[in-house]
Structure 1
């Protein structure tokens, strides 16, 4: 049987995640050059985005390693160390990099803590909204000091559904085909550009559902916990957990209708290229 995290440990991990995400969010918000522009995508200023990703991850891993040096780390920008405590930190220092590059506000910092493979604490900091989403396993989901709850049951045709698209050409083409199957069946579709924020918006009742193929562990670790603690269901293909193959998050009634639709539409593969 998997060893369970104590309430004291979960509280400690949440506190560290909150502080690490806050500091990284401030760095990214205050350190973004004013002249970081779309026109500069193919010239040296694009490196600033890369450097900001790296700087934020370095800040987070340095902060966590100083306070809990024996923990494991997994980060988008290359941090990968094995720990000895059963705790592993899963870090996305800048989720929504393209939004950040373009000056759009939907980007965030995601920090989650696993204990023996179970996510027990998660934080998504959204600096340009001034919002901090957080949760611990069994303790509910919160936006600041306001407890979150996903939207009440609604028919699928009244559901506002978010999704995202990968960067591989074949995958994007198939994802467009899947979206074409989904759009006539729901209220409308949104594409925000940050998986972590979309999952939190499901938790906050701002979206009825979210789905995407091709996410990495750091994209969804914190947001998945926050959504579940707000009462949403999360998963992948029917009977399977959320994974890189497919992530679906929604209130129970919408989930029950959306997941089979996505299965039928082949949202879990890359079409002819899959």
Structure 2
């Protein structure tokens, strides 16, 4: 594929994400069937499978030959190719299962491990975040551009709990150390939305470890194109396959949080 950044591709992926998201709404707050993947908090619902299958079918038809990597179903052949899709059909599954409207469909077109187009659609809120490399970031067609810079004590932060029990102690310590230094910490339960909310300046800082590539890809691009900062939690350059992210409205704020982690022995 060439010229993957053009408006036609962005519009196409937005339409796919919206159709997939709207397919979730009739099931939302209904008697959703689910099963456990690993641990009591890591669940998969009938909606995850239904929507991922829908997205895969549309992507294969509109972008033949481009592999698809998703959370729930088997990866396509050739997923180590230079260009492929990363999809999360239902980011925030536990929120969805409990009737909380913070969930999203996430689709990213990735080239050599880095997203070139990203779409995050929150159907219960009717919020569409989209971005393309070097083309800007948008929320419902409104340009996102981070402008504020603020001291840490005024920052509204967000984080999340990893599914891996071995990472939980790190997450607990990080929360306890940062919480007294910021305005407050929230746990929203949907990584893609939390990154987009930093891009929209609804949140000021977000960190998490133990994430999968499909959790990160689209939201990372939305934030980057809005002018936000994305690092590893230890302050190093962000690696999209590391599962660790520290995202903020400014580099100064990210570096301050990273220093707090390092000083506490939480550099991972």
Q: TM-score, normalised by structure 2?
A: 0.88
The Cα of 1:239 is off from its aligned counterpart by 2.5
Would the aligned equivalents of 2:29 and 2:96 in 1 still touch at CA under 8 Å?
Answer: no
- 1:104 matched residue in structure 2: 100
- 1:258 matched residue in structure 2: 257
Would the aligned equivalents of 1:148 and 1:204 in 2 still touch at CA under 8 Å?
Answer: yes
The Cα of 1:140 is off from its aligned counterpart by 1.0
State the alpha-carbon separation in 2 of the partners of residues 85 and 234 from structure 1.
25
Would the aligned equivalents of 1:16 and 1:64 in 2 still touch at CA under 8 Å?
Answer: no
Alignment partner for residue 15 of structure 1, among 11, 15, 31?
Answer: 11
Distance 1:239 1:41, change over 3 A: closer
Would the aligned equivalents of 2:208 and 2:246 in 1 still touch at CA under 8 Å?
Answer: yes
More helix by share: 1
State the alpha-carbon separation in 2 of the partners of residues 266 and 79 from structure 1.
38
State the alpha-carbon separation in 2 of the partners of residues 63 and 167 from structure 1.
30
Alignment partner for residue 69 of structure 2, among 71, 74, 81?
Answer: 74
Spell out structure 1 runs of 4+ moving beyond 6 A.
none
Would the aligned equivalents of 2:209 and 2:243 in 1 still touch at CA under 8 Å?
Answer: yes
State the alpha-carbon separation in 2 of the partners of residues 79 and 15 from structure 1.
26
Query: Which consecutive residues of structure 2, in runs of 5 or more, have no partner in the other structure?
Result: 37-42
**CA root-mean-square deviation:** 2.5
Q: TM-score, normalised by structure 1?
A: 0.86
- Paired positions, count: 259
State the alpha-carbon separation in 1 of the partners of residues 175 and 95 from structure 2.
21
Q: Are 2:112 and 1:116 aligned?
A: yes
The Cα of 1:175 is off from its aligned counterpart by 1.2
Would the aligned equivalents of 2:146 and 2:200 in 1 still touch at CA under 8 Å?
Answer: yes
Alignment partner for residue 231 of structure 2, among 231, 235, 242?
Answer: 235
Q: Are 2:62 and 1:64 aligned?
A: no
| Cα-to-partner distance string for 1:50-105 (whole Å, 9 max, x where unaligned) | 22101110000000001112002110113412169842100000000000000000
Would the aligned equivalents of 1:106 and 1:126 in 2 still touch at CA under 8 Å?
Answer: yes
Alignment partner for residue 249 of structure 1, among 224, 231, 247?
Answer: 247
